[in-house]
Structure 1
C-alpha cells in the first residue's frame, strides 16, 4: 500500500485522487478509519522512515522515492495572491482563533492555530487548503437553496464562532451554584456588543448575496468568496466549512459527503 501511494503520486495523481481511490477500494489507513483524506496521503509521502531510516526496514526504494519527489511542486516563501486574499477569513474549527501561516526552514509552508498547535495538522499545505475551499465552493454553487435564509434573515441567524463561544460561557455561568454577577454582566454586554455589530445582514442583504451567487460565473471564484463569506473554518486536515455573511453554514459531513446547515 505504501509503495502504491508513492507510485501513484509519481505518476501524477493528486493527494485527493489517491485518497479517493484508497477509500473506494476499502483500504484502511488504520482499522478505525475507513475513509482516507489528503492529509493522510501527504503524511505517508513525507515519512522518511519508509526509506529505511535508522532501525526501520526499507519499504520504498530510493528510485521510487526520487520519482515521487520529482513531481512535487516546489515550495516558496512567497504567498500566492489567492492565499493572501483568503487568509483573513481562516479560523480554527476547534477554538475559533485565526489560522496562521509560516514557512519552515525547508521552505515548506505550515498552517497552524495560535491557541493550540495540535488543532491544525502539520501536513496542511497551501494546495490542500485551496483545494478543500474549492470543494466547498462547488457544493455551494450546486446547492444555492442551502445558502438562502429567505426574507427572515436577522438577529436569530448564527453570526460567528465568537458569538457562540460567549453564549456558551454565559450559559455555564448561569448554571453555577454561585453566580459572579460582575463577570456575568461583562460577558452579557460583550455578547450584546457583538450581536449589535452583526446587524448588517437584513433580508435585503441576503437577497443581494443570493443574486450575486445566481449570477456567479462557472469555476472557482475567490473574489466572490471574499464578498459573501464571513469565515472559513479549518479543521485538522482541510477547510471544512464556509460561514456566509447571512449566517448560513456550508459544510462537509461525515466520510467526505458534503452537508449544509443553518
Structure 2
C-alpha cells in the first residue's frame, strides 16, 4: 500500500493496469451497505477506525469526510474507465439518500409559510432552516450563515408568531400608522397658480401655455401628496383583526392574509411586519 493515495480506496495498479483491490473493495461495499442501512458518515468512520482498516500506509484514522467522498465517488460504479465495484442502481440509491438527508425533513405547511417571509433583521437577507441534524433544527441568515445566539426551534418560532398575532387581536390599534402629513405645497406651486390666473385674465389666452402651467402645477402637487395605500391596508387589517377570536395555535390563513415579513433579529427575537408596513413585536 502506498504512503499517499493517488487512487480511490479500492483500487491499485498491478502490472501497469488499473485493478480492483479486492480487500479494499470489500470495505467499499460494506460502507455503501452500512449507509443504506441508516448509519451516519461519522458512525461508519468510527467503525472502520475501530477495526484498524488502513486508509493508506500506517493510517487507520478514518473520518466522516473520507466516508462521504467515498459514497459520492462515481468511479465506484464504473465511470472514467474504472473497474466497477458498486452496482449503478446501488450508487444511485445512495446518491438519492444523500440528497434527501442534505435537505432535511420536508417542512410543514405552517413552517414553510413562515420561511417564505422570514428575513434577517441585521442585513435583510432571507432566513433559512437547516434541518439536517437529527437532534435539532437551526434557523440562520442565508447571507451570513449566522445562527442566532439563542437557538430558535420550530416550535418556538410558531409560538412566537402566534403570540404576536394574539397581541394584535387583543389590541388592533397597534396596527394604526401615524397620520400622514398634510399637503405642504411649495412657493413655486403658489407662483404657478398665480401665473395661471393671470394668463386666464388676459384678453388673448395662450391655451397651450396654460396647459403646460396646469400640468406642471398638478405634477408638483401630486409629488407632495401622501401615499394612501398604507392607509387603505391599515383599514383592511383592522377589519380582519377587530373581533377575531384569540388563536389557540398558529393560523396559516391569518398569517398569510396579514403579515408581509417575519423579521428575526440578532438576539433571536421576532417582529412581524404587517401588510401596511407596521412592525410589531412582543413588547
Q: TM-score range by the shorter chain?
A: 0.3 to 0.5
TM-score (norm: length of structure 1)? 0.45
